[in-house]
Structure 1
């Protein structure tokens, strides 16, 4: 499917433009709060598993067979870095709006956006890998598999939080005015 010549812009990367959401007055604020709640729940879930692991006692009296180690922290750190990169990018620069004179600035912004999402996807893939290799294949009790479930949950919720925050910040705010002459 080709675009009509009148709608073609050689600076565009994607055929489909970013969604332009026009929400009510307070929906932007609600979206930011929802993203913050998802972010807090994500990190709280993993920290709960880390604290639970540090103080775990098994009923049969031996030492617990597995603990949360630095390897379990790495996917969350990658996702947090990706989250920061994605949300520090100026949304207008990615769209190519606002008359940015340097076309390389748009390209660099899109590259950083890709790197941010790649970090979050790598964090999610790493957490699933740790869940499978460290916890699921070793036939531990269900109380120890919780550490892996919490790791995957953290990364999924961080990705959801980034998406919700992106959508909430790309809407027109309650104090923004679009004046056109």
Structure 2
């Protein structure tokens, strides 16, 4: 019999290469981004069409989402190679690092802003019943998914051969 037929599982666990590792984490990051966008669209549509409470989703709730998306675009447009070249004094004298900082500030500010909106708009105003508080919680979860997606995407896309072999050895 062939070795393929003697195995209990079909998936070859010993053949985890760098390409498949990166591919799986890019898929995970894309799924997190999709979940985040769906959560935010869900609260917006629920608030407009089927809301049973007094509170509504307004533009204030979307500001944190917009900041998270803009931060994600900025962060994922910077390559780590540019930052390491700056540290050696070859390129733009810190411009890429500054732009990366702005992107991180936008993304983290979007996530923190959604927490502030949850506290100020929903918790402090005594909207602790399900429909209203659920909109605030979905806003936080959606921004967290986008934040986590951004971190995973930037880390995996900028991982070199030396880091990935050490990471896979764990």
TM-score strictly above 0.5: yes
Say if 2:27 is the partner of 1:52.
Answer: no
Question: What residue number does 2:90 align with?
Answer: 101
Note if contact 1:93-1:100 (Cα within 8 Å) is conserved in structure 2: no
Distance of 2:44 and 2:18 partners within structure 1 = 40
User: How far did residue 150 of structure 1 move?
Assistant: 1.0
Cross-structure match for 1:19: none
Q: How many residue pairs get matched?
A: 143
Matched, 1:147 2:135: yes
> What SS does the corresponding residue of 1:25 show, helix, strand or coil?
helix
Q: Which residue of 1 aligns with 2:125?
A: 138
* Distance in structure 2 (CA, Å) of the matches to 1:114 and 1:159: 14
What is the TM-score with the length of structure 1 in the denominator? 0.73
Q: Which has the higher helix share?
A: 2
Where in structure 2 are the equivalents of 1:13-52 lying within 5 Å? 24-52=18-46
Distance 1:129 1:43 in 2: 19
- CA distance in structure 1 between the partners assigned to 2:19 and 2:122 by the alignment: 46
Structure 1, unmatched stretches of 5+, are: 1-22, 59-63, 174-181
Partner of 1:90: 79
Unaligned runs of 5+ in 2: 1-16, 162-170
CA distance in 1, matches of 2:58, 2:19: 45
CA deviation after TM superposition for structure 1 residue 88, in Å: 0.5
